[in-house]
Structure 1
């Protein structure tokens, strides 16, 4: 009874543990991507009350490209490793194998040096549009560890190292530390990719804003801080209590009884013009919201 119970518990743990790790990673990378996405519109993600399911869905979206790249790299590495094993199988090819190991170690050390520069000098990594620093650290550690393994294999055969030498023990410790550097750097690179992915999605969303449903706001009192590009009309007494009308808005997100709306033509200010702003409008008796499909709105030239 106890042995079967322990066996069943191990099976459950083997299934639950990876699922928990994957869920945590999806939530984390989804959070990073969403934070960068809403920051593009000047909105702190802490103000947006998204559910766990919504965050996980964004996390799945972020992980598709890295997983595909890792799978392709895995196929390539498998083929290259098979070629290296063939090279190491024959002692007469030890000279070529040795030079290959030296080349891998040198390339790995150069990549690690580049990664350390980006890690220690904040201005270098901050100006990167692609995560060069973490990738250099990850690939450099892998190249050094693999090149060291090739050199150790050749040296052990030529010098008949049958016992547990001090060099072998030091090599094992070094491989462990290099593996830690590689895993941490790969996590860092994926984190940078998630942030870049979020910014890219924000820019893509901004380009499609003119074609999204039109948000019309009818308010009792005039709104303050209306962003440029939003048209205002005062309907007068004939319009009733909700006389103030605002059009030219699009919905960014709804959260906690609030609408986060943006102009139909979003400007980030990189062209020297006035950057757009996000307008936060609470639900309530003071505001009425009207949604309607709309054709593309010509861009405003006075902003």
Structure 2
């Protein structure tokens, strides 16, 4: 019986009994979506917790943060399974693979170095922390390689196929006449029965079976370390995607539709590029108008507006409560108005 596959199935049953897969996946998507939103709005100096995001908002943002990590992880996992299956079938067919005696130590050594570097990077800054997701991926890949090297040693190096020297049959006889003078039919002349020949010293011994609890503990530790490394990597990537999306939004800000903000009372907006106009008509429902703004997001009861002149040095973002005292009117973007003005010029 394969201890790895049996223990993995048993571990899956235990994990499934503790946490339903759907709940676990939803929690992870919420977590990654939260960090995506947090770093996106933090780029504009807005704390995302004041925007009243709901579960659906975070789940939608998590897809943007996890698309590439899930694709890369699934592809790497599929290639690893195919490679292992090819190796297993070649050995099962009796093909000798001398490279295994070098492959197993090499995989174990590489896994140890990567796992050590990833663990060290969790406690102090190393060169691995300077590259996005490199430290957590070192931990996950290193632990996976160590576990796989141990699996190869247990499965192939110890329990591999062996054949006797000199064309001996599987029962240990050489197929010819015996050396003790007995006939081929096994009738002797009263000779004493000889003791069976001892096994050669280099014959592989059967691997000792381990108790189920040891298999489960080993798989659980591997699962936890690999899982934490992948969550750590996905978290860093989600934060990076949030910042990248904010920078891309800022670069395309001149092409976004303008949002003219009307308010019953003065909002005293002093952001660069925002113009306040007071309406002279006393019968107007909204006495103040603000131009030079673009809408980033409307979430719950909040509007998030950004001035077209926003800069990283001194720019401010506006969070306006959504109620009857304000309204928005959308119009052409500044770039569209500039193009229209040029087309109508003489």
Please list, as runs of the form range in 1=range in 2, the aligned pairs for 1:15-94 lying within 5 A after superposition.
17-86=20-89, 88-89=91-92, 93=96
Aligned to 2:223: 179
Q: CA deviation at 1:25?
A: 2.6
2:101 is aligned, of 98, 103, 112, to 98
| Higher percent of residues as helix | 1
Q: CA deviation at 1:227?
A: 2.2
Q: Provide the secondary structure at the position in 2 that maps to 1:136.
A: helix
Aligned to 2:113: 110
What's the C-alpha RMSD, in Å, of the aligned pairs? 3.3
Q: Does 1:227 align with 2:271?
A: yes
Unaligned stretches of 5+ in structure 1? 1-12, 269-273, 299-303
Aligned to 2:317: 278
CA contact (8 A) 1:212 1:294 kept: yes
1:213 is aligned, of 257, 274, 278, to 257
**Quick one: structure 1 residues 104 and 87, their matched pair in 2 at CA, closer, same or farther if it must change by over 3 Å?**
farther
Q: Provide the secondary structure at the position in 1 that maps to 2:63.
A: helix
Q: CA deviation at 1:24?
A: 2.7
CA contact (8 A) 2:114 2:138 kept: yes
1:250 is aligned, of 294, 310, 327, to 294
Q: CA deviation at 1:120?
A: 1.1
**Quick one: structure 1 residues 240 and 146, their matched pair in 2 at CA, closer, same or farther if it must change by over 3 Å?**
same
Unaligned stretches of 5+ in structure 2? 1-15, 161-202, 339-346
CA contact (8 A) 1:226 1:279 kept: no
Q: Does 1:259 align with 2:262?
A: no
1:292 is aligned, of 321, 325, 331, to 331
**Quick one: structure 1 residues 30 and 82, their matched pair in 2 at CA, closer, same or farther if it must change by over 3 Å?**
same
Work out which structure has the larger RCO, using CA pairs closer than 8 Å and 6 or more positions apart in sequence.
Answer: 2
Please list, as runs of the form range in 1=range in 2, the aligned pairs for 1:121-200 lying within 5 A after superposition.
121-122=124-125, 128-153=130-155, 154-157=157-160, 159-164=204-209, 173-200=217-244
Q: CA deviation at 1:260?
A: 1.5
CA contact (8 A) 1:62 1:194 kept: yes
Q: Does 1:204 align with 2:248?
A: yes
Flag the structure with larger Rg: 2
TM-score after normalising by structure 1: 0.78
- What is the alpha-carbon distance in structure 2 between the residues aligned to residue 176 and residue 17 of structure 1? 17
